[in-house]
Structure 1
Amino acid sequence: METNYSTVMMKPIDNVAVALTNIPGGTVVTVNCGGNTIAVELKENIEFGHKFAVAPISSGQDILKYGEVIGVAVKDIAVGEHVHVHNLEGKRGRGDRIVS
């Protein structure tokens, strides 16, 4: 069943959206961005301020939020999955990698 939970996705190139409230797993949310509407069934509970995939993300692929790269997927992430430290590695401020 689709509901009216609030989410935000700023750029059409983003592959994640952000929950603006706690949303229970199994909920179908409607994400609107740039004139496009995406229906996503959440695979698990998503807490306020947390991200979920709106498109499949392959291991090694950049994760885009607000039109910016925020990290890289460390494993495949399905549509509707929670995107957080268990499947995302940040690229900024690590200090242990040289980016060419």
Structure 2
Amino acid sequence: MGKHKFLVHEDGDYVGVAIEDIKAGEDVMGVELHSGKKFQVTSNHDIPLGHKIALRAVKKGEALIKYSESVGTVIQDIKIGDWVHTHNLKTARWDYGN
């Protein structure tokens, strides 16, 4: 599989962050920054550099965990390998109860 293409910030995070562009259907490896734990995921979408890839399934209405805390609410079911961005996540910093 080769080198890793995404990083996971904290143990237990639901997503990794692409450090290179990832293509749909690509089998990619990631690594957790502190422990070195490795992850393998098949991407369901093209995921640009700096965007998130799902490491676990998350249902609509659930919190999305990154940096070991909620960073927003899922607005569309997410599957392992999905691109996580504004189309399926309402970020916490923009969620003012509206």
TM-score, length basis structure 1? 0.84
Verify: 1:4 aligned to 2:3, yes or no. Answer: yes
How big is the shift at 1:69?
1.5
Larger gyration radius, structure 1 or structure 2: 1
How big is the shift at 1:37?
2.1
Cα distance in structure 1, aligned partners of 2:5 and 2:36: 16
Checking the alignment, whether the CA contact within 8 Å between 1:7 and 1:19 is kept in structure 2 is yes
RMSD value, Cα: 1.7
Counterpart residue number, 1:62: 63
**Which amino acid letter does the alignment assign opposite residue 77 of structure 2?**
D
How big is the shift at 1:25?
1.0
How big is the shift at 1:73?
0.5
Checking the alignment, whether the CA contact within 8 Å between 2:3 and 2:29 is kept in structure 1 is yes
Which stretches in structure 1 are left out of the alignment for 5+ residues?
Answer: none
Instruction: Tell me the number of residue pairs that the alignment of Structure 1 and Structure 2 aligns.
Output: 96
Counterpart residue number, 1:50: 51
Which stretches in structure 2 are left out of the alignment for 5+ residues?
Answer: none
Aligned residue runs from structure 1 range 1-100, under 5 A? 2-33=1-32, 34-95=35-96, 97=97
TM-score, length basis structure 2? 0.86
